[in-house]
Structure 1
Amino acid sequence: MMKANNDTLISVTDLDEYGFPKHMFKFKDFGSLKAPGGVDCNQLIDLIGRVVSITEPKTIQVNSKPQRLIDFVIEDSRGSRLTITLWEEHVDSVLPYYNADLTDPLIVILQLCRARLNDDGEVRISSSYTATKILFNHECPELLNFKESMPRFFTPIGSISSSSRMIGSGSLEALSSENVTITSLKDIYDDKKVGEFWVLGEILGIESEWYFKDCKSKGCGKKLQDYTYRMYCKACDKHWPDGIIKYKVVIDVLDDDNDGHLQIYQYSVGEWCKRLFFLLTTFL
């Protein structure tokens, strides 16, 4: 043990006391961070998790100066996830794994990172200047224990970019593009992100109700209700002899982890049929 006194003199002594910490890391549980009051912005913490997805690195302006950053998501053995943001020199440690074709799980140890609570209540983790250390697949007892606690099956790492996750809705040819990243329904539900995604799954069935009638009021577009001999819009409080037909197809989809509903809305019969034909001939 090294001790420094007020005169900046340092003394070194042997310490054989029982219970002296021998471990290198003190990992924080994901659940405790997400619990009310679980985030202390003034405390540096250690985390371990499997990398689920990596977002394309980018540069932003902070106080009129360019700053590099990269986001990625990690998952614990129970499936709970956290989003990590690394800044500046730490970005280079993640770049070799972005768009890499990895068959084995990529496990990361984050030492001395900082947790913050966003305005929407989401817990975000970030690097803390040069204090943070990032270790990928670092051989240590903690990593071996984490591997043993992991589920047997897991999804591969997703490399997310603006071109791969936000595909124009009219470009059906994008499915054959190398830029397309296929995600899972679980990732969409857990991340609660809005956008356009490709999901590879099995079509279980197509629901029978395939059209309904919309309100004719400009800017309304609500579904009309049958009311005696006329149609009624509850939102506008108006009656219509008829409405605008809007075609809808609801497809039940099952992937490896979750099932969900895929809904397609079209005003044009031809466009609706074309998209349905594309789905059936592609995925069935």
Structure 2
Amino acid sequence: MVKDLKHVRFPMKMYRLKTFKEIKSIEGLDEKHLFDVIGRVIEIHCPEEKLINGKNSRLIDFTLEDPDGIQLMCTLWDEHVSKIEAFYNSTSQEPLLVLVQFCRARVCLKSGDVKICSSYDVTQLLFNQESPPFEEFRKRTSHEQTPMRIALSGDMEVRTISEIYRDKEFGDFWVAARIVFIDDPECTCDRNWGDGTLRYRVKVRVVDLDGNAPFLLWDRECLDLIGISADDLKDTHTKGRKGLPKELETLIGLNMLFRIAVRKEQFQKYLNAFPVMRIITDEKIVEKHAPELIQVRDRDLSSKLELELTDEDLWDIEDIDQQMKLKALSKLLHRG
């Protein structure tokens, strides 16, 4: 006889959880066996693209840690990449707990270590839930935790601004540049399901050793850079010498790695800004990928602000004010 059991404490979902120690034990490893694992994300690597059997595939690696400090590498493929990439592209709050459901174990050919990976389209990822597995994990976790960080591969390709404009290749790319000018910040409203959400955006002019371009920062980057949310900046800021919020003025002169989205509209008119997907401000990482930019002085970069108007059809009359700003800034840097 089968009866419905309705009880508030009866679990609606059950998992086949394996410990990290069990997974990393090569004895009895079955790569066809599906299981579940829970851990805290301590490192997320940059997404990559690879050609597998003549087909373009995407992957992203991240590292999990259990309450005992044992670490386990995880690789997600194709449609699963976006599930963790969202945390790579944002300033997520710690701790980031994830339960990977229906994953496989693999032996890494290079290191010989055991790692886990997604299994076709059946793998599921659950983040920071209040279910029993997450509550038990939190209770077992000590206060001394490995801090989460965003990892960049050592062979990460950093392109120059002139290469971006010359190649006209669409996609997401890393650029090492210095902020030299900031436009007045704007507020815009995104609507989702009838509710309006106020967002803050700041257009900046950046310069590298090869040229200059306008980049667009949103409230997420503002919070990451100056520690103030868009709403707080809008309501409480004090204006500096140039009429900008003083908090934003501190960004001028900073060297950063920008991950920008390159789309068709950026090449239709050169004053169309590149949206910034992510920023890296760590001096050691910036110096590793762009040592020459760290050493050069502001006035040596000023010549890169002179825009060559060889294609007049790319510019509108309304953009003259912006061009004048750039020329004035170039003269100011020369005097410095």
Residue 154 of structure 1 corresponds to 145
Shift of 1:153: 2.6
What secondary structure is seen at the aligned counterpart in 1 of 2:150? strand
Q: Report the aligned-residue RMSD.
A: 3.3
Shift of 1:39: 2.1
Residue 118 of structure 2 corresponds to 127
Q: State which structure, 1 or 2, has the greater radius of gyration over its C-alpha atoms.
A: 1
Mapped contact 1:32–1:38 kept (Cα < 8 A): no
Please give the alpha-carbon distance, in whole angstroms, between the structure 2 residues aligned to 1:117 and 1:162: 21
Number of residue equivalences: 166
Structure with greater proportional helix content: 2
Shift of 1:40: 1.3
What secondary structure is seen at the aligned counterpart in 2 of 1:134? strand
| Residues 155 and 165 of structure 1: CA distance in aligned 2, closer, same or farther (over 3 Å) | farther
Question: Aligned partner of 2:98: which letter?
Answer: V
Mapped contact 1:102–1:156 kept (Cα < 8 A): no
Shift of 1:133: 0.6
Q: 35, 38, 41: which is aligned to 1:51?
A: 41
What secondary structure is seen at the aligned counterpart in 2 of 1:162? coil
Residue 31 of structure 2 corresponds to 41
Shift of 1:181: 5.1
Q: 56, 66, 78: which is aligned to 1:76?
A: 66
Shift of 1:158: 1.1
Mapped contact 2:24–2:115 kept (Cα < 8 A): no
Alignment of structure 1 residues 13-52 onto 2, 5 Å = 13-14=2-3, 24-52=14-42
Shift of 1:165: 8.2
Q: 105, 128, 148: which is aligned to 2:95?
A: 105
| Residues 94 and 56 of structure 1: CA distance in aligned 2, closer, same or farther (over 3 Å) | same
Mapped contact 1:39–1:117 kept (Cα < 8 A): no
TM-score by length of 1: 0.51
Shift of 1:143: 0.2
Q: 139, 145, 153: which is aligned to 2:130?
A: 139
| Residues 89 and 148 of structure 1: CA distance in aligned 2, closer, same or farther (over 3 Å) | same
Shift of 1:101: 2.2
2:83 matched to 1:93?
A: yes
Residue 190 of structure 1 corresponds to none
What secondary structure is seen at the aligned counterpart in 2 of 1:143? helix
Question: Aligned partner of 2:131: which letter?
Answer: C
Q: What 5-or-longer segments of structure 1 have no aligned partner?
A: 1-11, 168-172, 184-195, 198-284
Question: Aligned partner of 2:122: which letter?
Answer: A
Mapped contact 2:26–2:114 kept (Cα < 8 A): no
| Residues 153 and 110 of structure 1: CA distance in aligned 2, closer, same or farther (over 3 Å) | same
TM-score by length of 2: 0.44
Shift of 1:164: 9.4
| Residues 164 and 111 of structure 1: CA distance in aligned 2, closer, same or farther (over 3 Å) | same
| Residues 93 and 80 of structure 1: CA distance in aligned 2, closer, same or farther (over 3 Å) | same
| Residues 165 and 153 of structure 1: CA distance in aligned 2, closer, same or farther (over 3 Å) | farther
